[in-house]
Structure 1
Amino acid sequence: MGTTGLPWARRIAAVATLGDSHRRRLFEYVLRAGQPVGRDEAASAMDLPRSTASFHLDRLVREGLLSVQFRKPAHKTGPGSGRPAKLYSPELQEVTVSIPERQYDLAGHLMAEAISRSTAQGVPVEAVLGEVAADRGRLSGRPGDFPGALRELGYEPYPDESEGYRLRNCPFHRLSQEHEDVVCAMNGAFLGGVASASGLSPGAVVPDPGDGHCCARVTPAGNNTER
């Protein structure tokens, strides 16, 4: 998987962790290995002391970039064959981050899924893109905490004068500049799905054209208690 599924702050931390050259090289080595990697193997391949490799591999585990499993070496059997070896595998296949937060991978997933459904059903893509976006949005809701779900997705909600919410950030900003009608419709459907899963009517999300903020806003009907 990529970092899109991680909270934004954790993605920042993951990128910062790879600022160290030893950790970056070790992560790339484990990623390319194609199978779980032991500390001795990684240390030898990177020409590092075993203790140094172990320290940095474990740091990559703590930051969610690698996972650990313990496995008894296949060539050692019977009594005294030794403790299971600690092996490292990629938890993420890539690490990306943007400031402010963007969700271009999500947009790509929604559009690819819409094209697949369109081809299978023999209907125009635009007819199914909204359905796909709403379905995905419903997976991202937080029951009873719509503003919290919006913050987690990077929309940066803030109360406005109508007691609803404006959204400072557009996670699909660059795409919306070039394909406004398609992307804003997709975004509205996605937010409607998030609203529905958070216990609100999708109608709480309405268009909000203009510069410097998201193309949608939340009406007072979506004004849950701030968390």
Structure 2
Amino acid sequence: MTPDPEALEAVAVLSDDLRRRMYAFIRRAGRPVTRDEAAESVGISRKLAAFHLDKLVSVGLLTAGYAQPGGLRRVGRAPKVYEPGGAQVQVSIPQREHELLAGILLDALRLQEPGENGRETSIRVAAGRGHDLGTAERADLKPGRLGAERALTYAGRMLERHGFEPVRATHTLVRLENCPFHPLAAKDPDLVCAINHAFLAGFLSGLGAPTVHAILAPRPGSCCVELSTTGTAS
């Protein structure tokens, strides 16, 4: 297959570390972001940020417009704001974890027990896979009690690596802004969300974080699971 020139251009633009970091910041923000905010997120000047942001806009990774912060009316031109655009590139931004989902489903085919249906096996295997990952993460932590605050922090780091785009909504809640199993999840959301929920619950169990709960809380365009220390969805 001939590479898409537009996709290649987008990858080239993202090869710059500052642009990648600003793009990731704007994706996580969940709202229009000003040049000043983007500049502050990576520690550069507003003028330099504008240059990099315009590069991201030029390849469709961001869209630009004008808005009044907080809806307040001010004298003069409204500040320029940026939001994620519709461009997608082969490197997968946002990150996808189709290999993880495929591995769980393949193991479910191999490990199905008598009297167990495919869904039940998939959920059991997903919980085991998550538990193994959580146990491995736990082994790398310093000894000591893993309280709710610390558990949310470490869980967020793992989920970031797997493309869930965690955002700390409150001190008791982490929302996952990206579904790494999309678009496959759209074909059977009931099954895939159940697998995802079991995987994350198993991870928390392996991590040794009984005060943090994986809660099913589907939201359009986001992951179907939230991490909560209260045991209830937001």
TM-score (norm 1): 0.51
Alpha-carbon distance, 1:121 to partner: 3.1
Structure 1 residue 124 and structure 2 residue 133: aligned?
Answer: no
In the superposition, relative to structure 1, how do residues 139 and 221 fare at CA in structure 2: closer, same or farther (>3 Å)? farther
* 1:27-69 C-alpha deviation (Å, 9 max, x unpaired): xxxxxxxxxxxxxxxxxxxxxxxxxxxxxxxxxxxxxxxxxxx
> How many pairs were matched up?
129
Return the match for 1:99 from 64, 71, 93: 93
**Taking every aligned residue pair, what percent have the same amino acid on both sides?**
33
Letter in 1 for 2:208: G
TM-score (normalizing by structure 2): 0.50
Determine if the alignment matches structure 1 residue 108 to structure 2 residue 102. yes
Pair 1:217 & 2:226 matched: yes
Distance 1:140 1:171 in 2: 17
Query: Residue 193 of structure 2 corresponds to which residue in structure 1?
Result: 184
Q: Distance in 1 between matches of 2:206 and 2:161?
A: 14
Q: 1:162: how far off?
A: 6.5
Deviation at 1:202, TM superposition (A): 8.6
Contact 2:173 2:228 in 1 (8 A): yes
How much is the aligned-residue C-alpha RMSD, in angstroms?
Answer: 2.5
Corresponding residue number in structure 2 for 1:147: 156
CA contact (8 A) 1:138 1:193 kept: yes
For structure 2, list consecutive stretches of 5 or more residues without a partner in the other structure.
Answer: 1-10, 16-89, 139-150
Q: Which amino acid aligns with 1:216?
A: V
User: Is the CA contact 1:138–1:196 (under 8 Å) kept in the aligned structure 2?
Assistant: yes
**Contact 1:101 1:171 survives alignment (8 Å):** yes
Measured against aligned partners, the alpha-carbon deviations of 1:96-143 in whole angstroms (never above 9, x if no partner) come to 84211101011111111112222x535211111111001111222222
What does residue range 187-198 of structure 1 map to in structure 2 within 5 Å?
Answer: 187-198=196-207
SS of 1:159's partner is strand
Name the SS of the counterpart of 1:158 in structure 2. Answer: strand
Separation in 2 of the partners of 1:160 and 1:203? Answer: 15
Max Rg structure: 1
Q: CA deviation at 1:206?
A: 0.5
Equivalent position amino acid for 1:114 in 2: A
